[in-house]
Structure 1
Amino acid sequence: MASHLVFTVIAQDRPGLVDRLAAAIADAGGNWVESSMARLGGEFAGIVSIDIEQSTIPSLHERFDLLLQEGIAITLRSDLERAEAPKGKAAHLDLVSQDHPGILRQITRVLREMDVSIEHLETAVAPGSMSGESLFKASADLRLPEGLEPSVLGDALQGTAGDMMADINLID
């Protein structure tokens, strides 16, 4: 019987990390299904979803233990059922603001209050092209609850954007 496993991985960034992880999964008979990985602050971090036969999970644990000895930390969440396809409309959010504490908190508060899920989020602080001041940039793929129109969410986000002098674009 196949199991669906989800785990996180973090290690000091270096060449070959994904290959080591992919080899451990393949050698244990697992199938790499989905992942999101990035280099952040000199560390390499990711989340991975695999399918694997229950009988080979002990072999996977042994292989992950070997990776831990190499400084590759893995946190495993096992025996999850594959989630249903998300319901509701998809939308994309882009935000740019002069950097200051609390920007993401203000945006996520609006999303939470409107029961919006974040499916993917990327953030960065970068120098502005003209002024050189630090700009906070965020890009997010969202899933709106059934019945919430993107225009309603857009209005709520624009209200917050005005308070923090940010440029927010919501694309449905």
Structure 2
Amino acid sequence: MTAFENQQLVLTAIGEDRSGIVSELTQLVSDCHCNIIDSRIAILGNEFTFIMLLSGDMSAISRVEHTLPVKGMELGLLTMMKRTSAHQHSNFSAGYTLEYHGIDMPGTLSKITRFFAEQSINICSLKSDTYEEADETHMRCELEINIPTDVDVDAFKIKFEDLSGVLNVDYVLRRIR
């Protein structure tokens, strides 16, 4: 396989949420002869966000790069694209999901993600939101993390237990691989 046979492109589209946007964007990708390898959709406020990882030959990727800006303008979307290559998996000893929740306090997510960075732990996915309960704003977050082989998992768990106490969050950590 040559470098021209399998190219990859990350495509992001953001705009006002309404029916039909996903259909329009996936049709464009299909018409350009690209394949959607991975995708995520989120509604943030009244805004729709769609992220896709596409693959295709050089010609197909170029077609998307040239047709998406016009289609994005027609649909009232802000679009962005970046060529990329296949993800190189690093060695890790285990994968976990972490779910935590508590009273919403500024900086909680920042402190938790900084803790992971300091431990050299990769965050694979993250979803967070807030909700009202008993006249208070609560937050919840779900993360998927990979712990590298050179990180002591037991020491990590103890350090995270300490951090969760300081931040006053309840959590569940589950091994998934």
State whether TM-score is above 0.5.
Answer: yes
Instruction: Give the secondary structure class of the aligned counterpart of 1:14.
Output: coil
Tell whether 2:140 aligns with 1:137.
yes
Shift in Å, 1:97? 1.2
| Contact residue 92 and residue 140 of structure 1 kept, 8 A | yes
**Aligned residue for 2:32?**
28
- TM-score when scaled to structure 2? 0.89
Instruction: Give the secondary structure class of the aligned counterpart of 1:115.
Output: coil
Shift in Å, 1:86? 4.3
Tell whether 2:100 aligns with 1:95.
yes
- Summarize deviations over 1:1-38 as a string: whole Å, max 9, x none: 22111122211111011111101100011011101111
Give the counterpart letter for 1:109 in structure 2: R
Give the counterpart letter for 1:124 in structure 2: D
> What number of residue pairs does the alignment pair up?
169
Cα separation, 2, equivalents of 1:63 and 1:52: 15
- Summarize deviations over 1:77-107 as a string: whole Å, max 9, x none: 11x2211234311011111110110110111
Tell whether 2:21 aligns with 1:10.
no
Cα separation, 2, equivalents of 1:28 and 1:45: 21
| Contact residue 8 and residue 61 of structure 2 kept, 8 A | no
Q: CA RMSD in A?
A: 1.4
Cα separation, 2, equivalents of 1:87 and 1:16: 40
Tell whether 2:157 aligns with 1:162.
no
| Contact residue 110 and residue 156 of structure 1 kept, 8 A | no
Instruction: Give the secondary structure class of the aligned counterpart of 1:82.
Output: coil
Tell whether 2:164 aligns with 1:151.
no
Could you list the runs of 4 or more consecutive aligned residues of structure 1 that deviate by over 4 angstroms after TM superposition?
none
Give the counterpart letter for 2:120 in structure 1: D
Sequence identity of aligned pairs in percent? 22
Cα separation, 1, equivalents of 2:22 and 2:91: 32
